[in-house]
Structure 1
């Protein structure tokens, strides 16, 4: 499951009485699919995996599988402790998911070799392809990346650390290993607002990236991706200056805004996704207004671009 292109990480909508809103989720999915991503990654970080009960997770994955209807892969998040991760992985397989994104283990810090064993333990629960999410307390080195090639269902690594030098070492180790699975092994840029780092990551062979902006401004996200793909550096720089950099400056003001601000953007776009579950906090009214101004500024810049 080596993916190419823009990746969608849909939000999980909640009602005012704290239930998962599957009708809004289905609407959100259809909007995401219409934007043409390479895959849907549901119930992951932007989808608030850590806030979900297992029954809610099942409903979300099953809804996504029905909505995708074979048009594109559905990858489900799983994580936490090893047994919990296995339980969610099994649930995803039972609901028809096409793959798994394995999030970092809960709290525990170990060695890269210990992380590989964690991946083996979870991956053995299902035949689904697994992408390993490297960030926080889940850090791989070259030896660990090579060891993952021997786990048959592990198909790639998603990076959320932002250490380009370290990621270059992983990519180079895998690509030059001579392992029969090396050529098909995928690397994904999973940094928050990955558009800021996409050019640096493409230079080291990581061309696929996730876009939280796709959740609330698919016009901007897809225009930026097209500009990157065709090497239109002027448009890339324009959208970075007028939209993405101001967005990131706002996002960085409050921990957790990587999710909360995205939900605020979706609400501005008319989608009733509700708020975030604790410990995340919703964007303040002042920051939502500022987000609206940033969106207006970005779209004004986009209007000047001739594609």
Structure 2
């Protein structure tokens, strides 16, 4: 399986009482597919995976798989701080119909590089799904180094990496490992065009929750090497990128989705967007709507 292009790390909608809003979830998933999104991630960090109950995780994933109906791959976030638990959750995701597992480096425990090799090999051997490595040091406290990725990428069940570090040197080191069986994906919206122009296969994006058609266009341009057009569109998206980082993810993106009627809030310890940013949120929603209208023709 080749994972590529515009991939959305989906936010999880809750209703006004804080319960899972499955109707809003279905609308979000279907809108992504209709807009041209090429894969979706269920229960990643943007999806508030750590705030979900086991039955909610299952409902979200089952629903996404049913809606996708083979049209696009569905990736399930399964990364936990313990290897055995991660394997069990990965197997559960396989039972629920996921196409691949997005496995973040174990949060909080900060294993050595040798520990990461053993961790990922065990999941790839025993989890029952193709594995996408996920490196995001600010969230986990650990860094999956390129030389470690080099030891993992030959495993037949390790099919890609999502790299959230933004340095061009890091992306260059990973692109040297890219092969027919191993894709390299950006995990950083503001630098994803640079990464794709350098050879990355795509991006797992937060912004594409609100501008899915625009992001599909952006990825198509960048992956085709059309640097001028991709750069121009990327520049128009820059204010949205900045807004989405104004408070911890997924607070800003869920504020925009809520203004579109998709969900009402977050779960503690995350709070809704600060009132000081309300006017900026309205401006970003107007920008997103304008970009989407243009992208959809």
Counterpart among 145, 169, 173 of residue 169 in structure 1: 173
CA contact (8 A) 1:10 1:32 kept: no
Map of 1:72-111 to 2, 5 A cutoff? Answer: 72-81=72-81, 82-111=83-112
Map of 1:82-231 to 2, 5 A cutoff? Answer: 82-136=83-137, 137-172=141-176, 174-175=177-178, 182-191=179-188, 194=189, 196-229=190-223
Q: CA RMSD in A?
A: 2.5
Taking structure 2 as the reference length, the TM-score comes to 0.88
CA contact (8 A) 2:88 2:127 kept: no
Point out where structure 2 has 5 or more consecutive residues left out of the alignment: none
Aligned to 1:67: 67
CA contact (8 A) 1:115 1:138 kept: no
CA contact (8 A) 2:4 2:38 kept: yes
Does the C-alpha gap of structure 1 residues 283 and 98 become closer, same or farther in structure 2, counting only changes over 3 Å? same
Report how far residue 151 of structure 1 moved: 2.9
CA contact (8 A) 1:123 1:153 kept: yes
CA contact (8 A) 1:134 1:161 kept: yes
Describe the SS at the equivalent of 1:124. Answer: helix
Taking structure 1 as the reference length, the TM-score comes to 0.85
Q: Does 1:296 align with 2:289?
A: no
Report how far residue 237 of structure 1 moved: 4.2
Distance 2:269 2:101 in 1: 25
Distance 2:198 2:55 in 1: 40
Does the C-alpha gap of structure 1 residues 228 and 147 become closer, same or farther in structure 2, counting only changes over 3 Å? closer
Distance 1:121 1:284 in 2: 42
Point out where structure 1 has 5 or more consecutive residues left out of the alignment: 176-181
Does the C-alpha gap of structure 1 residues 294 and 237 become closer, same or farther in structure 2, counting only changes over 3 Å? farther
Report how far residue 297 of structure 1 moved: 4.1
Describe the SS at the equivalent of 1:296. Answer: helix
Q: Does 1:251 align with 2:244?
A: yes
Distance 1:225 1:265 in 2: 22
Q: Deviations over 1:136-174 (max 9, x none)?
A: 1342334312221343311111101112212312321x2
Counterpart among 264, 268, 272 of residue 259 in structure 2: 268
Distance 1:16 1:216 in 2: 20
Describe the SS at the equivalent of 1:33. Answer: helix
CA contact (8 A) 1:261 1:288 kept: no
Report how far residue 236 of structure 1 moved: 3.8
Does the C-alpha gap of structure 1 residues 145 and 64 become closer, same or farther in structure 2, counting only changes over 3 Å? same
Report how far residue 290 of structure 1 moved: 0.9
CA contact (8 A) 1:134 1:158 kept: yes
Q: Does 1:282 align with 2:272?
A: yes
CA contact (8 A) 1:61 1:92 kept: yes
Aligned to 2:37: 37
Does the C-alpha gap of structure 1 residues 222 and 95 become closer, same or farther in structure 2, counting only changes over 3 Å? same
